[in-house]
A and B are shown apart, each in its own frame.
Chain A
Amino acid sequence: MSQAFSNNNNSFNIATTFNCTAPDDEAKILAWLSPLEPWVRHRDIGVDRVDGIGAWLLETEEFRRWHNASGEDESNHATLFCGGNPGVGKSYIM
């Protein structure tokens, strides 16, 4: 795993070590792709989140369809937009 991710002990995607480029170059390439670190915000939100809140979303027909659709019917359900006013907890469902 790259240097840039050394503090991220549980990476989002299942990663193995890169085996082609030098470790130094890997870190540089990743930093070149983007300097932003959205996993910091992800972690902060996780700390504040109360377990179980929003679980209803995963049971909705809309979510299941979005999540399970594959192949043919994709185009209609490729995007799921969850809308709500400020403070209803949108970030916590993500």
Chain B
Amino acid sequence: MGCNNSSLVIDKLCDEAGEGDTAAMCFYFDFAARSQQSPVNVLGSLLRQFVIGLRKIPEMIVQDFQKQRKGIGGRGLQVSGIMKMFQAITTTRRTFICVDALDECVPEDRMIILESLRQILHGSPNTRLFMTGRPQVRSEVEKRLDGAATFISIQPTEDGVIRYLQDKLRKDTTPEIMSSTLEAEIMKTIPEMNSET
């Protein structure tokens, strides 16, 4: 995860993380990677990012790790174990959790993850949750999080479309076949199409 002026919300949170007692973690759901993105791996990934922000790995996690290692081949983590660790360490810091493309998480896993996030929020009032997803999952989010969610509708703005087109034209690998007439037409027509929808 880099704070390299390449993202919006995470960068803003990162700036603050540099200032003091703030932690920010993120996760990107991807339907193509769904078999790896199990609840235990997703929640573990958030915990892992949180732990990296600490000065040292909390003793409780070290102990749990050493305990499981004694099992044959090591015992895998479970959601309950991760939640226990989470609740033990996130209570003191201002913590931001960002989750992208919630709709790309399979429904069975999504239910478990949302319930776990609800527990984290409940147990740690300093924690904030930022999520993106298709509008269809909104009602599920509201239901699983006890209705305690604010909704913002994301739509392309005219300014955003123009910036995007300018960027693409600037990076055109075959600029010699682009005429100024065509360029002007692109810059006029496409933003209009956006404002009509």
Contacts and interface: CB of A to CB of B under 8 A. Distances in A.
Is the pairing of A and B real?
yes
Given A10-B4, A13-B23, A34 B41 contact: yes
Interface residues of A, number: 73
B2 A45 contact: no
Interface of B: 1-10, 12, 14, 17-18, 23-28, 30, 36-37, 40-45, 47-57, 59, 61-62, 65, 68, 74, 77, 82, 94, 98, 100-101, 121, 125-135, 137-138, 141, 145, 148-157, 159-160, 163-164, 167
Interface of A: 1-2, 5, 8-16, 18-21, 25-26, 28-30, 32-36, 38-39, 41-43, 45-47, 49-58, 60, 62-63, 65-67, 69-71, 74-86, 88-94
A42 B154 contact: no
Nearest to A93: B8
A79 B150 contact: yes
B154 A93 contact: yes
A28 B153 CA distance: 41
Contacts of B57: 18, 20-21, 26, 29-30
5 contacts: A21-B57, A30-B51, A67-B128, A80-B130, A86-B134
A80 B152 contact: yes
B187 to A, nearest CB: 15
A47 B17 contact: no
